[in-house]
Structure 1
């Protein structure tokens, strides 16, 4: 009976250790993937902001700060999604 208990506890302890080790590994891999995706998104956002600044310079904002109403028609014409 004592040997059976010791074997069971050893199996449970070993399984717990292996699961913990696998979870730690998966967490590190997930964080690395998220960092990669975050860098990619930041790069794309930077490109989009640069293109937007070029468009605003091309169209002219008349001294209205970023996000002003001067070019509202241009922004509203594209990207509308009327589907519901």
Structure 2
């Protein structure tokens, strides 16, 4: 008689552990998919902003007249360095 109760208790415990493991795994998979979707959205947003910044930089370089300088090089660097964090009037 005690053996039947022990076996029933063991079966119930294993079922509860298996069910909770399944539900946790399912929730983790869902969260992973959601996180990947958010990261893809953020990546697209960042790529868009980087593209806008690069276009603005190219327009500035053309405006300043840095023709012939390869991408990443700037002839008139003082234009970028004149406005810094410490330009506030004290």
**TM-score (norm: length of structure 1):** 0.87
Q: How far apart are residue 64 of structure 1 and its match?
A: 1.7
Give 1:57 shift: 0.2
Larger radius of gyration: 2
- Structure 1 gaps of 5+ residues are none
Q: Give the match's secondary structure for 1:63.
A: coil
Instruction: Specify which structure has the bigger relative contact order, considering alpha-carbon pairs within 8 angstroms and separated by 6 or more residues.
Output: 1
Contact 2:66 2:75 in 1 (8 A): yes
Using the TM superposition, give the Cα deviation of residue 82 of structure 1 relative to its aligned residue in structure 2, in angstroms.
9.7
SS at match of 1:82: coil
Unpaired runs of 5+ residues, structure 2, are 1-5
Alpha-carbon distance, 1:80 to partner: 4.0
- Structure 1 range deviating more: 58-67 or 73-82: 73-82
Aligned-pair Cα RMSD in Å:
2.7
**Take 1:79 and 1:67, find their aligned partners in 2: how far apart are those partners?**
20
For normalisation by structure 2, the TM-score amounts to 0.82
